[in-house]
Chain A
Amino acid sequence: MLLFSRRAAQGSRRRALRELYHSFVSENSPEAKGRALLLQWLTPAQRRQFEEQGYFDVVGCATRRPYRVQYGSVANVQEIDFEGQSGGVLCVAPEGYLVPGDVMLAQKIALETDELATLAVANRVAPVGRRRGSGGVGGPDSLSPAAAGINDQNTHGVLRFVPDRDFRNSSVVGALKDDQDQVADRRTGLPVEQARVAGPAGTNRDLKRRVTMLRDQTTRSKLAARQPNGRNPDRLTLHFLPLENLQPVLIAATAVLDLIALRPAWGMVK
């Protein structure tokens, strides 16, 4: 019984020591220190917002524009317009390696005390879209991972996101196709206009035939343009030649046929 109680006491002492060690490490890790420092320097409203939401808002000293500082150290500052909608994402941080709490504190002080200089050095990441179902500016989810990804100055690997798998059916792709069609029409004219260019057409059938002919000509000229000498080796070129160029060939062929036809007569002469 005495042995059992001694072992139990040792176990609880060991457990208490382990908990003390873990709490010491968690309170004195760089991340914990940075976070504690950040909390000390935030205003009460910012501190409350950060503890509840994981981000805090700061107001730029020059433009009075609000910015949202998310927990993190890379591309974690989000511009917010005056209507509360999210804008671009700013990527700006102090030189060297710092923990997220330190980076966020530096960003807060920089935006609140020297906004224009901060914007001058910041790289802006343009959001492309939003995650489905998220409306307006939210928490860390308000910037969609599918959003985003093009930086107008630098390209960050971490910010390149893969689009949704069903992107082929998305309305964005449909709109892009429409845009491409419009661009193509601007270059070549609408199909009806192409037919008008081809000449007057009496019936719908004529119109269709002319459109088909124009399309074929375009295809042929594209194929010819692919070859450096303008010729397509797969189809040797006779049908590219206009009829008047073919005339000597036809005359020669006719003469050969005539000669063959006259051959028995030559034999009779001999």
Chain B
Amino acid sequence: MVTQIVMDHTGYSRHEYDVDDIEALTEAERRFRKLTSEGFTAAVRTAAGESWRVFAFDPTAKETLFFRRLVGG
């Protein structure tokens, strides 16, 4: 199972999908493109907790996190 996590006012929303399910995979890719085009930052992490940004959809990434662009407070 692969997960996309989108930060929101409820903490976060999870979207899980199976990489073997073509339809779910297409939906996940569409969600990735939509969010990044809206200015969300996408990041993935290793098991050790190191994270890095991604700019293209990676179907094998176990967990992808999305958060809105940063602004000065």
Contacts and interface: CB of A to CB of B under 8 A. Distances in A.
Asked if A pairs with B, the answer is yes
A219 interface: no
B49 A94 contact: no
The interface centre, meaning the residue of A30, A101, A106 with most chain B CB atoms within 10 A of its CB, is A106
A75 B71 CA distance: 12
B7 interface: yes
Contact of B68 (A95, A107, A123): A95
Nearest to B48: A43
A101 B11 contact: yes
Interface in B33-56: 39, 41, 43, 45, 48-53
A33 B43 CA distance: 18
Contacts of A69: none
The interface centre, meaning the residue of B43, B51, B65, B70 with most chain A CB atoms within 10 A of its CB, is B70
B61 to A, nearest CB: 13
Contacts of A93: 70-71, 73
Given A94-B67, A121-B72, A41 B51 contact: yes
Given A34-B11, A99-B11, A109-B43, A121 B70 contact: yes
Contacts of B67: 94, 98, 102, 105-106, 109
Contacts of A99: 9, 11
A74 B73 CA distance: 7
Interface residues of B, number: 25
A42 interface: yes
A118 B52 CA distance: 14
A88 to B, nearest CB: 13
Nearest to B46: A43
A112 B68 contact: no
Contact of A94 (B10, B45, B51, B69): B69
B5 interface: yes
A214 interface: no
B49 A42 contact: yes
A94 B70 contact: yes
A110 B70 contact: yes
Interface in A134-189: 153-154, 156
Chain B contact residues, majority secondary structure: strand
B20 interface: no
B8 interface: yes
A97 interface: yes
A92 B72 contact: yes
Nearest to A34: B11
A46 interface: yes
A34 B52 contact: no
B73 A91 contact: yes
Contacts of A33: 10-12
The 5 A-B pairs with the shortest beta carbon distances in the complex, nearest first, are A33-B11, A43-B49, A91-B73, A123-B72, A94-B68
20 contacts: A30-B9, A31-B11, A42-B49, A47-B49, A94-B70, A96-B8, A98-B67, A99-B11, A102-B67, A106-B7, A107-B70, A109-B41, A109-B65, A110-B41, A110-B70, A113-B43, A121-B70, A122-B70, A123-B73, A154-B72
Interface of B: 5, 7-12, 39, 41, 43, 45, 48-53, 65, 67-73
